[in-house]
Amino acid sequence: MVYVTRKSHFSASHRLYNPTFSDEKNDAIFDKCNNLHGHGHNYVLEVTVKGLPDPSTGYVIDLKQLRDIIELEIIDKVDHKHLNYDVPFLEGIIPTAENIAVIFWSILEKSIPMGTLHSVKLYESDNNFVEYFGEPVNIPNFKAEEVLS
Ligand code: NI
């Protein structure tokens, strides 16, 4: 297997809170991330596809094609947006890096034309990042069918 990764960037704001919690509980759990009008991150997204290089091209996946898919399916929809309000596929979802990575996976998995999606890695900052490999995850309010339709 050969693992091929495309790195992309986007900037977005979000607010972490659970509407079923009291204000006090949201403050206790999410602290500064619960700021009423949100806060921003310069996110870094790394998408890794695995496979065997095609004997005729030497490619697992054409990285230009992977770049275009990530731009079209993800970056164009989240860059310079407020993730709580502006992104239909994140509606009703607490926009932690964990949840965002899982949802990005579900979108990309169906769009990758060659090879197999291996991981989605999402950096919220230099020091904080999450990585997801496609195991089943339950995210309240996330309906994969709607995201993909
Ligand atoms: Ni944040």
CA of 97 to the centre of ligand 1 (A): 8
Q: Which two tokens stand for residue 78?
A: 């989240």
CA of 10 to the centre of ligand 1 (A): 13
Distance CA 3, CA 16 (A): 33
CA of 54 to the centre of ligand 1 (A): 40
Distance CA 56, CA 138 (A): 40
- pLDDT above 70 covers a percentage of the chain that reads 97
Distance CA 1, CA 51 (A): 5
Q: Which residues does the annotation mark as catalytic?
A: 33, 80, 124
Q: Cβ atoms within 10 A of the Cβ of 124, count?
A: 17
CA of 104 to the centre of ligand 1 (A): 17
Distance CA 46, CA 115 (A): 16
Enter the DSSP assignment of 30: H
Enter the DSSP assignment of 71: I
pLDDT digits (tens, 9 = 90+) for 25-42: 999 999 999 999 999 999
Name the superfamily (CATH) of residues 2-11+41-148. Answer: 6-pyruvoyl tetrahydropterin synthase/QueD (3.30.479.10)
pLDDT digits (tens, 9 = 90+) for 48-100: 999 999 999 999 999 999 999 999 999 999 999 999 999 999 999 999 999 99
Backbone angles phi, psi at 73, to 5 degrees: -85, -30
Distance CA 3, CA 51 (A): 7
